[in-house]
Amino acid sequence: MTLALIAAVAANGVIGRDGRLPWHLPEDLRRFRELTTGHAIIMGRRTWESLPRALPGRQNIVVTRNASFRADGADVVASIEDALRAVVYPSPPFCIGGGELYRAALPYAQTAFVTEIARAFDGDATFPALDPAQWVETAREAHPPAGDRDFAYAFVTCERRDR
């Protein structure tokens, strides 16, 4: 089974601050919903706790080392490997974070859907750099600053190079 990563990443690698996104980008949230609906989403416990509820139309899978943790509307597993075995929705499953889980999932990923935010933000969670020797950009859709959004962004798709 192939795994996809999906993340919005600031110019300095930040993906979150205090369990929240440090920016407001409705276009990114819309893209996230369009790409992940009908698939499994794999997330860490802190990412799960940042959500108001299980995301509808998706198999929600939470990875945690806490064996007694329960998540209403989600499957709870102990590792990224267990998460991949638990997937019952069509491929690809999407790893949606946070930073620690992205690092654990990176060796299993074949595709990365990254929204590159062209501005640095303060934060406490980061996305692992995709090594250009292992990853190639296959698509880019750039968007300039607009309205009250003072930063540009790009929807970028990367694929793992042949191993």
Residue 135, token pair as written in the block: 């990853």
Lookup result for tokens 């943790």: 69
Tokens linked to 61: 């899978």
Report whether pLDDT(163) > 90.
no
Could you tell me what percent of the chain has a pLDDT over 70?
99
Give tens-digit pLDDT for 29-81.
999 999 999 999 999 999 999 999 999 999 999 999 999 999 999 999 999 99
pLDDT band per the 50, 70, 90 thresholds, residue 162: confident
Give the pLDDT band of residue 28 (cuts 50, 70, 90): very high
For residue 127, what pLDDT is reported? 98
Q: How many CB atoms lie within 10 A of CB 88?
A: 9
Pair 29, 138: CB distance under 8 Å:
no
How far apart are the C-alpha atoms of 77 and 15, rounded to whole Å? 23
Mean pLDDT for the stretch of residues 10-31: 96
Mean pLDDT of 10-26: 96
What pLDDT does residue 1 have? 74
